[in-house]
Structure 1
Amino acid sequence: MPSGRTHDRITYLSLPPLAVIAYLLTGRGEWLLWLSGAYLFSGLMFGPDLDIYSLQYKRWGMIRWIWLPYQSCFKHRSFFSHGLIVGTVIRVIYLFSIIVIVAIFVVAIAQFIWGFPWNWRNVAEYNFNTLKNQYLGEAIVTFIGLELGAMSHSLSDYWVSHFKQSQKKPKKRRSRRNKK
């Protein structure tokens, strides 16, 4: 399988053609930025190799510990980490869950200190409606960028592994006559 630096090169080199294709298909510059940013983020920091101690994992710096439960749940190169669409969906849900847990603690502490009213249901409904009504296109394009970044990683793993397997020379069989 390719090294982390090879995956990085693939990400950087495939971004310009991807950006051109995306702009030709959508004609929207802001969607191109969302897609390109998500593609780079996924290729460099949010890809399938978060299930091991990898370059992507190390790039999370001081907060990389948030990926330890993820690593313990999924075997490296499993369908759930490297699978097309499934791997990205699981990582998005996982990261969103971590963000929500941290937000709960931060808001609870802020409520305790400043005593302001807060209703989680209202906040969730407001954010969901805003996303659905105003930013649905951007959300879809962002997810596509995240998935394309992960796909470039998983497909390059597959191609390199397949190539290496095809290059192995078959072992010569010893016939019964040659055993003496």
Structure 2
Amino acid sequence: MPSGRTHDRITLWTLPLVGAGSLLATNSSSLTLVLCGGYLFGGLMFGPDLDVRSVQFKRWGWFRWIWLPYRGSMKHRSPLSHSPITGTFLRIVYLLSWLALLSLLLLGLMNQIWQLGWTWGDIAGVMGRSLSQHRNDWLSLVLGVELGALSHYGADWSTSTWKRVQTKGWKAAFPSSPKRKRSPPRRKKRPNRNI
């Protein structure tokens, strides 16, 4: 598999292509900026290698402890961590769970110290309005994160395929479905005529 540095180079070298494609598709510089930010975050810090002690894991610095339960529950290169959409979705849900817990604790503490009078309904209302008013920005961010992870999957897949081609030839690049072994034909029981 490519090293962490190689994955980083791929992310950085393809960023201009992602930005140009986004600008052509959306004709919006702000959505392109959000998508490119998500792409960098997804490729450099939020990729599928958070399930091992990787460059991405180390970049979290003081907060890398957040990913220890994730690492313990995921087998490296499993479909839950290294598959398009599913892997990114699970990492987003996992990170949002930590952020929600931290936010609840922080807001509860702020409410107690400064007597702000905020209710959880007020906070949920603000978050709901933000999600609905900035829906395109949030979608661009999530798409950028997914594209950043896809650059990782693509590099892993192409490297694995190339190694198979080198050892087994070009047929290995296009694996066919496994052939089933035929079971031997059943013999019909003959009636015993000696009786």
- Secondary structure of the 2:63 match is helix
Within 5 A, what are the aligned runs for 1:58-137?
58-132=58-132, 134-137=133-136
Q: How far apart are residue 169 of structure 1 and its match?
A: 5.7
- Aligned-residue CA RMSD (Å): 1.3
CA distance in 1, matches of 2:122, 2:110: 18
- The more displaced of 109-118 and 26-35 is 109-118
Q: Note the alpha carbon deviations across 1:77-132, whole angstroms, 9 max, x for none.
A: 11111110111111111111101111111122222222222211231132112211
Aligned to 1:174: none
Letter in 2 for 1:81: S
CA distance in 1, matches of 2:157, 2:40: 20
Aligned to 1:139: 138
Q: Note the alpha carbon deviations across 1:39-58, whole angstroms, 9 max, x for none.
A: 00110001110111000000
Letter in 2 for 1:139: W
CA distance in 2, matches of 1:28, 1:116: 38
Letter in 2 for 1:164: K
Q: Identify unmatched segments of 5+ residues in structure 2.
A: 170-195
The normalised TM-score by structure 1 is 0.89
Q: Note the alpha carbon deviations across 1:6-25, whole angstroms, 9 max, x for none.
A: 00000011111111111111
Which has a greater percent of helix? Answer: 1
Q: Note the alpha carbon deviations across 1:107-164, whole angstroms, 9 max, x for none.
A: 22222222222211231132112211x1001111111100000001011111101111
Aligned to 2:151: 152
CA distance in 2, matches of 1:169, 1:84: 27
Identity percentage of aligned residues: 44
CA distance in 2, matches of 1:116, 1:32: 37
- The more displaced of 68-77 and 4-13 is 68-77
The normalised TM-score by structure 2 is 0.83
Q: Identify unmatched segments of 5+ residues in structure 1.
A: 171-180
Aligned to 2:161: 162
